[in-house]
Structure 1
């Protein structure tokens, strides 16, 4: 069964979360949506470490550092094990030799649209035989997307 490569999920679309295949990502989406509390996107400060604990090893947090780039503030330890490298502290643009161009394009769209992105595809890393599911969620401050929080899991239905 062919799986779509990219989906944008709008919180006002009541069944958006049901289109997320991986149950852990679906739960993260619903937490994010609850934290929106009527806003377009929540603040980073709206999330506690305890709330994010179920996803910590698979979690990524990016700072929006320039108009078209992002820095990995956090790249979960399970992701390091899956993909074979740690991107913490790196600019996404500087990591494209390892991860390809798709993540940079996806993060730019999340920032421009201030909307979540869910992708299910082959990994853009050197291990292209892996299929993964990724959710990227905007965080806003002062009406601007200033961070992206997300998680990556190996696909359950490969």
Structure 2
């Protein structure tokens, strides 16, 4: 697994989110859900997603997704299972990080092309951050995605993904 440093992020707002998260981690564990204050993240809201990792082992669900994210999918993601979004994108290399973050409780990063319905192609830069609750290191996932338009030929471009250092 490639190791990524926040300095390598293209979008400054992702560095800000990572710093916010890292500054609220406690005792070597991921940031507690209770430390999350949406007011602190107001400028990021259109690009944020908040997902629940159920305690019964059922599938991860979107609780909220910002308007920039939902616009790409062309519908609301609220309450939808994560797997319901996979058929909507043509690139399958985006899905492995969801399982990894639940397993290792480490932040995940991805930057690369994604094709959405109606042949819209974007470079997506995404950060996924585990949020703890009680004894569980990953009870929720806080994420942010930024999109830049790409020409359709760029869909085959290289992807960078990995776990954040430190």
Q: One fold, TM greater than 0.5?
A: yes
- TM-score scaled by length of structure 2: 0.77
Q: 1:70 offset after TM fit, Å?
A: 0.6
In the comparison of the two structures, how many residue pairs are matched?
147
Paired residues for 1:20-35 under 5 Å = 20-35=9-24
Q: Which residue of 2 aligns with 1:45?
A: 34
Paired residues for 1:142-153 under 5 Å = 142-153=135-146
What is the CA RMSD across the aligned residues, in angstroms? 2.5
Relative to structure 1, the CA distance from residue 93 to residue 18 in structure 2 (aligned partners, 3 Å threshold; closer, same or farther) is same
- TM-score scaled by length of structure 1: 0.80
Q: Secondary structure at the match of 1:69?
A: coil
Which protein has the larger Cα radius of gyration, Structure 1 or Structure 2?
2
> How far apart in 2 are the matches of 1:47 and 1:71?
18
8 Å contact kept, 1:58–1:79: yes
89-98 or 60-69, which deviates more: 60-69
8 Å contact kept, 2:73–2:88: no
Q: 1:31 offset after TM fit, Å?
A: 0.5
